[in-house]
Amino acid sequence: MHTNKAEKTVVIPLLVLCTILAGMLSPMQSAVNGQVGKLMKDGNASAVVSFGSGLVVMAIIILARHSTRSQFASIPKKIKSHKIPWWNWLAGCCGAMVVFSEGASASVLGVATFQTTLISGMVISGLICDRLGIGVAVKQPLSFARILGAILAIAATILVVLPNWSAPKVIALAILPFLAGLLAGWQPAGNSAVAEETGSMLVSITWNFIIGFCVLGLALVVRLMMGQLTFIFPDHWWMFLGGPLGLLSIALMALLVRGLGLLLLGLASTAGQLIGSLLIDWLLPQFGTQIYFVTILGALVALIGAGIAMIPSAKKDVDIETLAGRK
């Protein structure tokens, strides 16, 4: 018994540290995609490059095993069967919006401001999805703590954009990651439903990349045909790491959640995202932008807001017990 407690005392903090480091992959992805967008002068083109590189990696993984090839081949029949709502198959559109916003705004806003506004949108989206029962077994009521978390998320967004309040263009760009965060709330629910339907999370992730790539690619082709776009193709190898970095983050989180649980994983990964963002803007100014005191304060408020919003309500606990009793 004492040995188990001692192991937990060592293992849990180690897993938390690993999750914080894994969370830093997200701002690294934003920084890479932001630079690609800056080079190509187009967020749409940057997002296609990111999704394309990720899709190549997933295609290799899927094609390497007979089981995943069969599961992926069953998708058309699964879609026609209508066993899960059709919108679950389009969850990749949310990821497309996130990656598009990275290419369009991360290099201008700075990685810290981008990640803070993205997380703030996700906090609010998470509360709405929980309240409506999207992706969860039991609906979460809007408790005082959860509403406070949403208010803090909005406050965090206002804080990080304050230094650019006199620049309407920058403020407009800040809306992109916030909207992307709002949309991202139902993406895990869609991906989870597809994974359950196909029997493989790898297949679900691959399908997610295919949808995002097709949506962004189609938009890019239409714009090229209309003569609305000219861009420079990335000429540095690291500019193709946006997709693989996202995949690595997803894989690590899937492994770490088993030892930490969703709440602790969410808090640690959010901390990693915000810490990593600030470090990139500070240590690699060519990838980010100047850090202001309100940027750090906003990131801290976003972390507190996310932590408060993740607290389960007492009513949910009661509902779960009631449901368990009925079964």
Summarised one tens digit per residue, pLDDT across range 165-213 is 666 777 888 889 999 988 877 777 788 889 889 999 899 999 999 999 9
What per-residue confidence (pLDDT) applies to 56? 94
What per-residue confidence (pLDDT) applies to 314? 46
Question: Residue 263 and residue 182: Cα distance in Å, rounded?
Answer: 19
What per-residue confidence (pLDDT) applies to 261? 65
**Res. 244 pLDDT band, cuts 50 70 90:** very high
Angle at the Cα of 89 from the Cα atoms of 84 and 93, rounded to 5 degrees:
145
- Considering only the C-alpha atoms of the chain, give the largest distance between any 2 of them, rounded to a whole number of Å: 70
The answer on pLDDT for 158 being more than 50 is: yes
Summarised one tens digit per residue, pLDDT across range 69-118 is 999 999 999 999 988 888 889 988 988 999 999 988 888 888 888 988 89
**Res. 298 pLDDT band, cuts 50 70 90:** confident
Q: Mean pLDDT highest for which of 55-59, 134-138, 287-291?
A: 55-59
Instruction: Read off φ and ψ for residue 231, nearest 5 degrees.
Output: -145, 165
CB within 8 Å of 171: residues ≥ 6 apart: 161, 164, 165
- The answer to whether 37 and 99 are in contact (CB under 8 A) is no
The answer on pLDDT for 317 being more than 50 is: no
- Could you please report the per-residue DSSP string of 187-246? HHHHHHHHHHHHT-HHHHHHHHHHHHHHHHHHHHHHHHHTT----PPP-SGGGG-HHHHH
The answer on pLDDT for 42 being more than 50 is: yes
- pTM value is 0.80
What per-residue confidence (pLDDT) applies to 135? 59
- What are the C-alpha distances in Å from 102 to residues 27, 33, 93, 148, 272? 10, 6, 14, 28, 18
CB within 8 Å of 296: residues ≥ 6 apart: 112, 278
What per-residue confidence (pLDDT) applies to 138? 64
**Res. 323 pLDDT band, cuts 50 70 90:** very low
- The answer to whether 315 and 138 are in contact (CB under 8 A) is no
What per-residue confidence (pLDDT) applies to 120? 86
